[in-house]
Amino acid sequence: MSKRKFRLANEISTGSNVVLNIIFVLISIVCLFPILLVIAISFTEEKQILLHGYNIIPREFSIKAYDFVLSAGDAIMRSYGISILVTILGTILSMSVITLYAYPLARSSFRYKNFFSFFVFFTMIFGGGLVPWFMVYSQLVRIRDTIWIMIVPYLINGFYVMIMRTFIKGSVPEALMESAKIDGAGEFRTFFSIVLPLLKPGLATIGLLSCLGYWNDWYLPLVFVTKRELFNIQYTMYQTLSSIQFLTSGSANFAELGKVLSDLPGESARMAIAVISIGPIIFAYGFFQKYFIKGLTIGAVKG
């Protein structure tokens, strides 16, 4: 990138640029510091943590925490695999379902758009409760203990649908879609050849959020999955962290509590767990990010 000696019209002044940069550096420190702290703790010797508390620079370096967490070796690899599979499959499918659903809602020529908007939005507020929901997947649509149970409940989501609808309305002028119709194109054709290319930032956004939603989820395996082979990485990690949470909450009172507690991971191992469960998803963020920053997609936006 060659340095420009002048600034483009409508760019901010150098002075403002410096000020903004400083603001962001400060904010970044506040956001980054805790992450670094977590990483540092995960590499600290457990005894040092008990005696001296947390320190941004480990008092005594140790990889024992990771040894401990990864000692389950195969199981960890497998749950990573499950997470990745569910995330990729889920993201692709949910983006399709959501975008397809949002398109009619964005078209003024669709007479029932308010009804269907309400139809999806209502589900964000109202639910039947845990047990009935559990029953549906247990007795009716029997996909418990399969990959699908971790994908289907999140395929469509009022939040994403509404945002996507707004993106469509904002990125694609109604006139453009109308003119396509006049030219004889059906709705599907319009959708695929005109709307989608213009929707890249919106797709990237929902894609990223959906991707994160699938990757981070431990709730579906908690409620539905009983087969160890299908546990994803978040659930595996959550099981440990939450167990510790429960055992130290005062709600557990049984005589062997102390022994159980001492067998569970200490602070450094818990932080190692946190680091591991973040894992690859950081790269997914990088993948989607290029669609959010203007200046890197100038060509692509106007397809």
Partner 1 sequence: MKRGLKTQIPFFFMLLPGVIVLLINNYLPMFGVVIAFQQYRFKDNFITSLLTSKFIGFKNFEFFFKTPNAFTVTRNTILYNLAFIFLDIVIPVAMAIMLNELRNKMGAKLYQSIIFLPYFLSWIVVSYLAYSFFSFENGFINKGILGPLGLEPANWYFEPKYWPFILTFFHLWKYTGYNIVVYLASIVGIDGEYYEAAVIDGASKWQSIRHITIPLLKPVMIILTLLAVGRIFNADFGLFFNVPKNMGTLYPATDVIDTYVFRALRNSNNVGMSAAAGLYQAVLGCITVFSANLIVRKIDPEKALF
Partner 2 sequence: MKLNRKLLTRVFAVVLCLVFVLAGCGKETQPTSSETPSSTTPSSTEPSQSATPAAALDPVTLTFYCVGDSQDMSGIEKGVNEYLKDTLNITLEYECFGWGDTYTPKINPMLAAGDPIDIVFTSNWAANFRSNATAGYFTVLNDYIKKYPGVEQVLGSDFLNATQIDGKNYAVPTNKEKAHNWGFLLKKDLVAKYNIDLNSIKSLQDLEPYFDRVLAEEPGMTPLLSVQMDGPWHLLDWNTFSDDDVPGALYPDNRDTKVINQFLAPESVALYKQQREYYKKGYLHPDAATQDNFSAEMSTGKYFAFVAPMKPGKAVEMTQQTGVEWEEIFITPIVMSNREADGAMLAIPVGSKNPERAFMFIEKLYTDAKLKNLMNFGVEGVHYKWSDDKNYIIPIEESGYKTSGGWRFGDNFKDYLTVGEALDKAQQWEKYNASATPLLNLGFVFDATNVASEVAACKDVVQTYYKQLFTGSVDVDPTLARMEADFKAAGVDTLLQEIQTQFDAWLASKK
Q: Out of 114, 176, 193, 303, which residue is the one contacting partner 1 (CB under 8 A)?
A: 114
Q: Out of 138, 166, 216, 297, which residue is the one contacting partner 2 (CB under 8 A)?
A: 138
Residue 1 vs 255, nearer CB to partner 1: 1
Binding of residue 55 to partner 2 (CB under 8 A): no
Distance CA 7, CA 17 (A): 12
Binding of residue 166 to partner 1 (CB under 8 A): yes
Which partner from the list partner 2, partner 1, none does 264 bind, CB cut-off 5 to 8 Å by kind?
Answer: partner 2
Q: Out of 22, 96, 176, 260, which residue is the one contacting partner 1 (CB under 8 A)?
A: 96
Q: Out of 78, 144, 165, 270, which residue is the one contacting partner 2 (CB under 8 A)?
A: 144
Residue 92 vs 229, nearer CB to partner 1: 92
Distance CA 173, CA 35 (A): 42
Contact range with partner 1 by CB under 8 A, out of 73-81, 100-108, 222-230, 256-264: 100-108
Give the nearest distance from C-beta 85 to partner 1 in angstroms: 19
Facing residues of 61 across strands?
A: 44
Residue list 145-204, contact with partner 2 (CB under 8 A) = 145-146, 148, 152, 192-193, 196-197, 200
Contact 150, 90 (CB under 8 A): yes
Contact range with partner 2 by CB under 8 A, out of 9-17, 33-41, 111-119, 134-142: 134-142
Contact range with partner 1 by CB under 8 A, out of 62-70, 83-91, 222-230, 293-301: 293-301
Distance CA 275, CA 269 (A): 10
Q: Out of 5, 253, 294, 295, which residue is the one contacting partner 2 (CB under 8 A)?
A: 253
Name 299's Cβ contacts closer than 8 Å, sequence gap at least 6. none
Name 178's Cβ contacts closer than 8 Å, sequence gap at least 6. 109
Contact 62, 44 (CB under 8 A): yes
Q: Out of 87, 117, 210, 236, which residue is the one contacting partner 1 (CB under 8 A)?
A: 117
Binding of residue 224 to partner 1 (CB under 8 A): no
Residue 58 vs 265, nearer CB to partner 2: 265
In order of 163, 185, 265, the CA distances from 168 in angstroms are 9, 18, 48
Facing residues of 44 across strands?
A: 61
Q: Out of 79, 86, 150, 153, which residue is the one contacting partner 1 (CB under 8 A)?
A: 153
The amino acid occupying position 50 is L
- Torsion sign, CA atoms 144, 148, 154, 156: negative
Residue 40 vs 230, nearer CB to partner 1: 40
Number of alpha helices (DSSP H) and beta strands (DSSP E) in the chain: 17, 0
How many Cα atoms within 13 Å fall on the side-chain side of residue 36?
Answer: 10
Residue list 67-106, contact with partner 2 (CB under 8 A) = 71-73, 75, 92-93, 96-97, 100
Contact 104, 195 (CB under 8 A): no
Site size toward partner 1 (CB under 8 A) is 114
Distance CA 220, CA 181 (A): 42
Distance CA 248, CA 262 (A): 11
Give the nearest distance from C-beta 79 to partner 1 in angstroms: 16
